[in-house]
Amino acid sequence: MKITTKEFGLGATLITFTSKNDISISFTNLGARIVDWSVNGKSIVLGFDSAQEYIEKDSYPGASIGRTAGRIKNGLIELNGKNIQLNQNEFPQTLHGGEDGFDLKLWRFEIFDQEDRASVRFDLTSNDGENGYPGKLDVAVTHSFDEQGRWTIDYDAISDKDTVFNPTGHVYFNLNGEASLPVDNHYLKLAATHFVPLLDKTEIVRGDIVELRDTVLDFRAGRYLAETFASDMEQVQLVGGIDHPFLLDEVSLEKEQACLSLDDLRVSVYTDRPSIVLFTANFGDLGTIYHGKPQVHHGGITFETQIAPGSRQISELGDISLKAGEKFHSRTIYQLNQIN
């Protein structure tokens, strides 16, 4: 595995791993994020050319999100019987951990070179009270890439006080290789029989769990995203696409939970988290500029592995609390396959 580094601007570094079959993947310590994943000269994830663009345009693409992924209603969490007010950066909600979240931090990093695998571990200390969250949290996000085309993300954390923690990765895939082309032509399979509907355009959860059978959001047997986008289903119309938590039928890192394919490219998702939030970049004509070209409506799709947002309203979704001194660990794997 070839490893290169170069300046990325604003004090950030770009780290690139290149496999023997010339597949390259790049990360930066600004937001502990993926920047690029190139296959046969085609970039299959969305990213910018400099750190400055993430600051000026959109800080979420590819980023590690924390301390909590998704929207928290009214920015309120309950911990040990007490309500705690978080930073309401999407007033009145907290979105992706609040303002100046993990996505905007310059993380410390260390690179590890193994025979058929390379890794970069990003480390960050989130101070007690930052954005309202209790506890000094030490967090590490490790991105690894191997010669078999597996990109693995490991999340590790420990807090000195009881707190909440529910991280995710915000990578946008677009197997067309261009944000200027929609993902309508992508075929998606997802092992989820239930999802969590949204209340309204605030995109907080409605408060119930709904079966997907006989809807265009049922991807268990697979379907093209164009079919879903063209639907008059109320939840699809509400957000202009997909921006929903899907509850996985079986929580297992060994099971393929999702598969996105186009022509000869296929990306499979494996995770130990109980849900995946799919977001199909429903920006209308407000998409940002990637590599000089404007992002179209549905110009990407995320697979945000996590405990589904809304656990305070729906206890069945899971518990995002983290006890003082308890070690947090989770893993998500994206497996690239080229079909001959």
What are the beta bridge partners of residue 187?
Answer: 224, 261
DSSP conformation class of 210: E
Of 96, 170, 186, 298, which one is the catalytic site residue?
170
Q: Is 143 a catalytic residue?
A: no
Q: Tell me, yes or no, if 211 is annotated catalytic.
A: no
CA distance 64 to 75: 20
Structure tokens at 231: 């639907």
Tokens of 306: 């996590």
Q: What is the dihedral of CA 143, 148, 149, 150, to 10 degrees?
A: -40
**261/93 Cα distance (integer angstroms):** 34
b/e string for 35-57 if b means 16 or more Cβ within 10 A? Answer: bbbbbeeebbbbbbebbebbeee
Tokens of 40: 């046969």
63 CA to centre of own chain? 7
From the candidates 53, 130, 203, 304, which is the catalytic residue?
A: 304
Residues with a catalytic annotation lie at 170, 304
